[in-house]
Amino acid sequence: MRLVIQRVSQASVTVENQIIGQIENGLLVLLGIEQADSEEDIDWLIQKLIQMRIFSDSEGKMNCSLQDIDGGLLVVSQFTLHASTKKGNRPSFIAAARPEQAIPLYELFLQKAALQLGKKVETGIFGADMKVALINDGPVTITIDSKNRE
């Protein structure tokens, strides 16, 4: 499972000209699920995501977590995070989980994140053509892969 985490001052997801998810100060997370992913990956990633200290404290140092600032969380599914670009110029998405596997894991990720945060998690629509708008604050962009726990 891969996350691209962006600290934002605002973010939204639009489907068919209608905003379906939006947040103010918080994190926009692009979530890629691969065939080998499980609930264990979800638990590890959510712990990292919720507790990662990437928000400024009163002295301007990155010392606060999403929970500390009571920030919003917007999670958007994105299978293209598992693109393989080894051969040629056309990416292969063979490692990305098929919808029948990915959707339950995506929904479980959302449920567990909401429980950890103690509030609703905003989302996109799995598999839809989405338009994502954001104002990256910092900019701060971090990637995490549950298969490469550094």
Give the catalytic positions in this structure: 80
Cβ atoms 116, 71 nearer than 8 A:
no
According to DSSP, the residues that pair with 136 across neighbouring strands are 8
Q: Any idea what DSSP says for residue 92? A: B
The residue behind tokens 């929904």 is 107
| Contact indicator for 18, 84 with CB cutoff of 8 Å | no
Q: Structure tokens of 77? A: 């599914």
